[in-house]
Amino acid sequence: MIATEQLDLSLINGYLEALDIAVIQQMLDLYIQQSSLYLAAIDTAIVAEDQKAWQEHCHKIKGSAASAGLSQVHQKLVVIEKSTEDWPVKAAHLRVLTELNQQAIDVFQQWLSDQ
């Protein structure tokens, strides 16, 4: 996957100008930990069929993804955050989101190793 499709490179390159590469790696590591928790919480919201929790956790990961420069993940969350679709459809959104998130993390890690 091409980095420009997954990542907000202008944001990340701005980070690189201001921060040490080790700090950017720490930011990504923190995002990985947090996104795992948010994705689990979204799954719990689906199981409980809790619309408020769905929106709340989608909103949290949306902000985290934007701050980390994961543009495709952010865009997916913009689309699904306020979704009132049936729960099986939301479960499908979560599967896609989880895959997109992992792809973006992999691309970001590759980008970091190329720096």
- Which pLDDT score, from 0 to 100, does residue 5 have? 85
Q: Would the pLDDT of 36 be above 70? A: yes
Model-level pTM? 0.93
Report whether 11 contacts 28 (CB < 8 A).
no
**25-34: per-residue pLDDT in tens?**
999 999 999 9
**47-100: per-residue pLDDT in tens?**
999 999 999 999 999 999 999 999 999 999 999 999 999 999 999 999 999 999
d(CA 102, CA 72): 11
Q: Would the pLDDT of 1 be above 60? A: no
Q: Would the pLDDT of 4 be above 90? A: no
pLDDT tier at 2, thresholds 50, 70, 90? low
25 exposure class (CB count in 10 Å sphere: 0-12, 13-18, 19+): middle
Least confident of 5-19, 37-51, 89-103: 5-19
User: The domain spanning residue 88 has which CATH number?
Assistant: 1.20.120.160
d(CA 41, CA 38): 5
* Count: domains in the chain: 1
Amino acid in the structure at residue 79: V
Domain holding 102, by residue range, is 3-113
